[in-house]
Amino acid sequence: MDTALRPAVPPLPAPVRRPAAPPDAAQDFVTRLRASASSLAAAAGADTAVVREVVPPARHRRSRCRVVLRFAGGGETDVTFLGPVSSAAAAPDRAFDLQIRAWLSCELGREGSWLVADDEAPDGVAVDVTAWSAAERSAEQPAPCAG
């Protein structure tokens, strides 16, 4: 028996099972918005969309989503969307991405009180989808889709 040539290898430790952690609402929010890129492109009539930035809502900040749309002719549109200040866990499921999709399917215009100054947006303007949704439902200031 030739055991002197074999190195001594300690046994591997037993696998440790981690307790099931509750899903992180903020990470779920980010993942869901990033995964919605193709539906956002379709809503805007674009060939592709890239979700460049997603910031989940919090008590002290608004939710934020920056989308770059690429069109057939080579054109590109970079749009920043702002949502409510709240908790990602408390927000209705898919509300922000549905609002973005609705705005994209209606109009990529640059007029309306829902366009707000935003230093972090590439062109200095962001779409406040919460204000846009309220305007869409309001008779006082119809949104672009209203007609």
Q: Per residue in 85-98, pLDDT tens?
A: 876 566 555 688 88
Task: Compute mean pLDDT per 10 residues along the chain, 147 residues long, and list them.
Answer: 64 74 82 94 95 91 94 93 78 75 78 88 91 72 51
Taking the CA atoms of 136, 140, 142 and 147 in sequence, report the sign of the dihedral they define. positive
Which of these, 60, 126, 48, 121, lies nearest to 87 by C-alpha position? 60
Q: Which residues of 59-83 are buried (b: 16+ CB within 10 A; e: fewer)?
A: eeebbbbbbbbbeeeeeeeebbbbb
Domain ranges of the chain: 45-140
User: How much is the pTM?
Assistant: 0.76
Residues ≥6 apart with Cβ < 8 Å to 115: 125, 126, 127, 128
- Residue 121: predicted pLDDT: 92
CA 78 → CA 44, 61, 69, 73, distances in Å?
12, 21, 6, 15
Give the Cα separation of 36 and 22 in Å (integer).
Answer: 23
Supply the pLDDT for residue 139: 47
Query: What is the rounded CA–CA span in Å between residue 103 and residue 143?
Result: 9
Residue 147: the pLDDT is 45
